[in-house]
Chain A
């Protein structure tokens, strides 16, 4: 079955520390992969996407993600977290021509001063 797993429901990091949010997917082929961020009371905003090619992709707000086919993973990283990064992060993938995205359960990021 197609699925996305975000193992960490809640993560707390100190401001200025590095961040890695995990994402694993289950799909028979290489999917289209996305990370979205949701601030309180807002809709989801696209951070970055991977379709093919270079496995390390850069996104907005200083985020990057690396696609690892052997591990079926697409982890999100940021070298130095800012207090404004506190939000909920969703990994998702799309497949084929349907446009249908499957979302993980989300990871809530808390940033300590």
Chain B
């Protein structure tokens, strides 16, 4: 089991550029989550999918952020245009069933720096 795979590990971009973060969940997991981690705000849930359908996107900061899950093995988080305040570590996680008792399995994250 390769675990949750995120790419890239690091991304440095200039303000105004489009950024796309990628995630491959664990095979067989039905739910996928995108979190953002910063020193100031800790871990914030941005959006999560169940069976490829977005269930709750209330954590997405603003319209500049969008997420898709075209199939069970791939998801993207896009920021367009990016701003310096988007700098953070973005984690993708997946779980088997998407219920409250199903632990999350995290990827190693993408560290995004927007200059």
Contacts and interface: CB of A to CB of B under 8 A. Distances in A.
A43 B56 contact: no
A99 B29 CA distance: 12
B100 interface: yes
A60 B108 CA distance: 19
A43 B102 contact: no
Interface stretch (A15-23, A65-73, A77-85, A89-97): A89-97
Given A43-B4, A43-B109, A101 B42 contact: no
B97 A99 contact: yes
A44 B99 contact: no
Interface residues of A, number: 26
Interface residues of B, number: 26
Contact of B42 (A31, A99, A105): A105
Contacts of A96: 99-100
A1 B106 CA distance: 26
A99 B109 contact: no
B50 interface: yes
A63 interface: no
B103 A106 contact: no
A74 to B, nearest CB: 14
A31 B43 contact: no
Given A90-B43, A100-B45, A100-B48, A32 B101 contact: yes
Contacts of A103: 42-43
A19 to B, nearest CB: 21
Interface of A: 31-32, 34, 36, 41-46, 49, 51, 90, 94-106
